[in-house]
A and B are shown apart, each in its own frame.
Chain A
Amino acid sequence: MKVRTLPVADVKFVRRFLRQVARRHRKELAYVLALYGVAVSSGLVGPRLLGALVEDVRDGTTAGHVTAVAAALGGFILLQAFLTRVAFRAAGRLAATVQGEIREKFVDDVLALPLAVVERSDDGDLVTRASQDTDTLRRAMQLAVPQVTEALVWIVLSLGALLLVSPLLSLALLIILPPLVMVNRWYLARARSGFLREAAASSGITEGLDATIQGAATVEAYGLEAHRVRRAERDTEAWYEAMGYTLRLRTVLYSVEEFLFTLPLAVALLLGGYAYNQGWADLGQVTAATLYILQLMFPLETLLDWVGTLQQGSASLARLLGVADQSEPEGAQSEQKPAGRGVIASADLSARDVRFGYDDGPDVLHGIDLVVRPGERVAIVGPTGSGKSTLARLLSGTHPPRMGDVQLAGIPLHELPHHDLRKHVVLVSQDQYVFGGTLRQNLELAASDVTQNAQAEADDTALWRALETVGADGWVDALPEKLDTTVGVGGEELTDAQSQQIALARLLLADPSVLILDEATSQLDPSSARQLERSFAAVLEGRTVISIAHRLHTARDADRIAVVEGGRVVEVGSHQDLIDQNGAYARLWSSWV
């Protein structure tokens, strides 16, 4: 039960993902690369023409010729600008698509994460991944990738052009290759972990701030102001230090690179002077070659400007992909589980010798046996911490048991596809949560297949009926836009009791055959809770209902009561039976009233 941050994808996984993306979009990718190629080539004509112009002017030429060359130069620049625009747009479109894919994959992956992983990690981590990391990735993909691609194409083509103009003078550039490769290898070996650390540190800041803001009232009540301020200081300090490390790496890389790229310029001049002197090269060649090398500064500057961003982007990508289940290769989603489809005829739920513990912790359930018949209403009671909620999760198939099994109509729950399972068994937990969106969207979240808008219109009456049953029709009707009012983040704020009513209404709309209610009315005041439970019971006539409650009215109204203590079922029977037995339940009941 340790607090951990969510996982980060390893290099291999990121690479495999990028290869898949490249393969999926290979046409678009080829198009973008080709466009950059042409765009940059047209930019490279400039120095060549200028070199020729210098030569011509020296040898004496007419103003007309100069004008013609200048016009050609202008034409190429216009062409280059135009092609750059087209290439950038195409790259942007591609990046937007890929980003959308990553974003959607991220959400799919998070939705598929084991509950325990999400519960162990702080919100801030997920929040940062969803906001900052996607932002960083966008910056990297929309700006850095095109800029770097363009720069790389530029460098490669410049080298080519240089070779064409003067193979001799291009020697000036070759001498810097070995040290360049060396410094880059040194850098790349360290950069990934450095940038990941930086991203994690920045995530820590959001996490701290998130807690301070969300818990502002608690901070005030307990006088935690100084703690929170210190935490912010520590977090920013840690970020600064992580940044300092990658900055040192970048400093080494850039210093070496910047110097290495100045060197060829001087060498080219010296070599050019000698070659000209010896008659191996003419002045135009020397000029053009020098200008090519000089112009290389631009793509290099771009590279230096954006490589950091690119690296931050890849760290962010690793964080976004990190939530994916890395053990399973892509595509082999466990969606298609053959067994059990359409076989679920009756709603009887049974647990046989179920044992369970969280993570690698000790067992918290020690061999639970429980058979719930269709249409039966069973209440589970027991002291807090005895494992009631855990049992609810197992009975609903949220967690698989360590040993033994839970079966629905004779089929083990873990053999049923999750989505199918939820058509039959639904769990409403004690956690209330209102999702950002309209009230209607919140209500229709459950597994039933109402998605289409046209259908939703017709279902308004069903929604209202459900709201009425849970006693929420009054306040929903009073909302400015009723069912279409935005609630949750950035919208109308609902009280805990209201959220609970929405959760229950959602359940009615999902209309499953087995309902598991884990303290589903705990936030309501006792009289409203009783009222709600009664109207609820009327609607749920004939369904199997398992409710966990510490309000013992719920238990008394049930057909059978199971008492859980210390991870075991210690008593099962009706209210009267158990009172008569004068055991654990009787004690509980007498302390209750």
Chain B
Amino acid sequence: MQRIPVLGPGGLDHRSAARFLLALVGKQKAATLWGAVTSAVWMTSQALIPVAIGRAIDGGIARNDSGEVVWWSMAVLLLGVIRATSGIAFYRHSIITRTVSASLTVRMVTRHVTRLGASLPRRQDADALIATSTSDGTTIGVGLLYAGRIMGAVVAVTAVTVAMLTVSVPLGLLVLVTVPVLSGLSSLLLRPLHRHQDNYRSLQGRLAGRAIDIASGLRVLRGVGGERQFAARFRSDSAQLRSADVGVARAEADYEAARVLVPGLVTVIVTYTAALFALDQRLTIGQVIAFYGFATFLAMPLTDFMEGTSQVTRALVAARRVTRLLNVEPWQGKTPDAAATKPRNRGKAHLTDTTSGLAVPPATFMAVACADPSDADALARRLARFEDSGDPALGGESLASLPIPVVRSRVLLGLNSDRFFAGTVREEIAPAGTVDTADITAALQIACATDVIDALPDGLDTRMTGRGRTFSGGQLQRLRLTRALLADAEFTVLVEPTNAVDAYTEYRVAENLARFHETHPEGRSTVVFTLSPLLLQRAHRVAYVEDGRVIAAGTHDDMLESHSAYRMLVARDDASRVGK
């Protein structure tokens, strides 16, 4: 069995849907050729069986010639074996092609999504994206499967045509005209079928979305007792889907009826004509049977042809969706090829943004308090260059001029929306895999997360889910913090990294971070966007931001004294709020 072909660095050509399909075929050249050959042999041998039967009846049984009977019976058997062998070979080929094509599509999409990273369209499109790569991948696979079948059908039809014409020219021509005409007519039914299918599919997607909601929303539903309401709504949507489903079934029924009718009518027309010819002694009985067989069997490659063209069309539509995604450009300036090398000036560079007036010196623990919480997010993203705004610079060099991978390797942005991926806790908090256990232990201690790991049955080697639902919000937050620390970036930018933990833990985390920076001054800075007085107090420097600009800087205590707006914002006891 072939393997899934390896994708080169360039991946598959995806400039257009057709090119993408061709590239998929190109990845499986030998297999495609094999598919065409096997399906041709399969269909031809199938069509020739009636000829052999006709000969057996004609030349053998009718004439009482047992030698002929045995001879032709053996021919039938041989054809049967060839048919079976090639049929199975083709079947295997189709399933493999389908799987390989779908797999390659998934790989291409994954590769591109990781390339897009944060510039991926927002969450509401995520479900459509997942559908794109899974169901469209399968549709593409089915389309390619039929591509091989179409090639085989063409060969089989040609072979049978030649066979028919050698037996009887007028009858052969009759078959050649009626079969395509009738098949073509019934293919008209495919359009309504596909329309119904598309309608069904979009409803089904929505309903699946509802069911998926449960995974994330079950805690909420349980808490408020919303299960009945939810189920009731699902039921009404489900009823709607049912009627769409019935619509599809009706169109499918029409198509199935046509698939009975077309070969049936062809058979009647051909057999009738053949019988009339036989009456005029222009054909033998065996030839009548042979024509009956031709007519019946021709219908099969022709339905395949019909079905095949429609499946290829659908595959093209699916490929268009996939290529549209694959052609979404990573946000400007993102040059994936630029290698991220260790900078020579690590621990020397300042991270600055003159627009906001924010300046992060090397080797420091800094906190930023923003009067408007949305400023915190925006500024953090700006410093890590997750968006283009302001004029952030690193060591005097504009971030915009640096290749993105270089920025990513030097500035880490840690958000509360960051998630995990299914794996062991060790893999999740130290995804690079190069960190040793001592470092992990140290980072866990700073983040006050040691107890989280201790409570796990297999410690660091316990598996966790991507959403980490088995952990509480506070536990997850501490694990996220551990991961950010272990990334060991020159600048670690965090937004409200402790807003889900209790005051005592928050205090300890602040303490630990400060101590860490005092004992390990070399080479790294941590910037925390927060309103927590505990973090602010322990930070070496504090900047206070209003309307996107730093309007005061200094230590927490100084600023409490000198800046009433700052005091109002961060102080937690009403005494200081009112002002001493």
Contact = CB atoms under 8 A, between A and B. Distances in A.
Which of B60, B69, B116, B503 has the most chain A CB atoms closer than 10 A to its own CB? Answer: B503
A483 to B, nearest CB: 16
A349 to B, nearest CB: 15
A409 to B, nearest CB: 17
Contact of B256 (A84, A131, A592): A84
Contacts of B49: 265, 294
B122 A92 contact: no
A386 to B, nearest CB: 8
Interface string B67-92: 00110111011011101110110011
Interface string A239-262: 110011001001100110011011
Given A228-B114, A258-B88, A92 B107 contact: no
Contacts of B293: 294
A250 B456 CA distance: 44
A126 B3 CA distance: 29
Contacts of A104: 231, 234-235, 238
Contact of B502 (A119, A381, A510): A381
A92 B250 contact: yes
B4 A237 contact: yes
Contacts of A122: 422, 465-467
Contacts of A304: 91
Interface string B41-74: 0000010011001001100111010100110111
Nearest to B72: A269
Interface in B512-570: 531, 533-534, 569
A419 B231 CA distance: 13
Interface stretch (A157-165, A185-193, A210-218, A338-346): A210-218
B4 A222 contact: no
Contacts of B114: 212, 216, 219-220, 224-225, 228-229
Contacts of A493: 122-124
Interface stretch (A20-28, A423-431, A465-473, A534-542): A423-431
Main secondary structure of the interface of B (DSSP, over half): helix
B134 A206 contact: yes
Interface in A75-122: 77-78, 80-82, 84-89, 91-93, 95-97, 99-100, 103-104, 106-108, 110-113, 115, 118-122
Nearest to A128: B134
Given A126-B211, A218-B418, A384-B502, A258 B261 contact: no
Interface string A251-295: 100110011011101110110111011000001001100110011
A118 B254 contact: no
Given A126-B212, A286-B61, A426-B223, A258 B279 contact: no
Interface stretch (A50-58, A176-184, A365-373, A474-482): A50-58
A262 B271 contact: no
Given A269-B69, A276-B64, A384-B505, A447 B225 contact: yes
Which of B218, B243, B292, B504 has the most chain A CB atoms closer than 10 A to its own CB? Answer: B504
Nearest to A93: B246
A200 to B, nearest CB: 14
Nearest to B456: A1
B64 A100 contact: no
Interface in B106-148: 106-107, 109-111, 113-118, 120, 122-124, 126-131, 133-135
B271 A50 contact: yes
Nearest to B568: A527
Interface in A129-176: 129-132, 134-135, 138, 142-143, 146
A593 B572 contact: yes
A398 B228 CA distance: 16
A77 B252 CA distance: 19
A384 B475 contact: yes
Interface in B436-480: 451-452, 455-457, 462-467, 469-470, 472-475, 478
A210 B130 contact: yes
A591 B224 contact: no
Contacts of B46: 297
Contact of A430 (B214, B225, B230, B500): B500
B415 interface: yes
A419 B334 CA distance: 53
Contacts of B241: 100, 103
A143 B251 CA distance: 12
B88 A277 contact: no
Interface stretch (A10-18, A61-69, A324-332): A61-69
Interface stretch (B17-25, B93-101, B156-164, B353-361): B93-101
A85 B253 CA distance: 5
A72 B117 CA distance: 67
Given A85-B256, A259-B84, A444-B229, A223 B408 contact: yes
B424 to A, nearest CB: 10
Given A217-B417, A262-B76, A430-B500, A446 B245 contact: no
Contacts of A583: none
Contacts of B117: 216-217, 219-220, 225
A58 B62 contact: yes
A411 interface: no
Which of A46, A262, A381 has the most chain B CB atoms closer than 10 A to its own CB? Answer: A262
A503 B265 CA distance: 64
B34 interface: no
A428 B474 contact: no
A396 B223 contact: yes
B253 A88 contact: yes
B540 to A, nearest CB: 20
Interface stretch (B202-210, B313-321, B343-351, B389-397): B202-210
Interface in A427-441: 427-433, 435-437, 441
B573 A209 contact: no
Contacts of B116: 216
B256 A88 contact: yes
A233 B118 CA distance: 22
Given A215-B466, A489-B213, A96 B249 contact: yes
A426 B239 contact: no
25 contacts: A2-B462, A57-B285, A82-B257, A85-B254, A107-B231, A119-B469, A119-B470, A138-B245, A206-B130, A214-B126, A215-B419, A217-B117, A217-B418, A221-B418, A254-B84, A273-B69, A384-B505, A396-B223, A418-B225, A433-B213, A445-B226, A446-B229, A447-B228, A507-B224, A591-B507
Closest 9 CB pairs of A and B: A92-B249, A422-B225, A262-B80, A220-B117, A384-B474, A258-B84, A77-B264, A130-B211, A88-B253
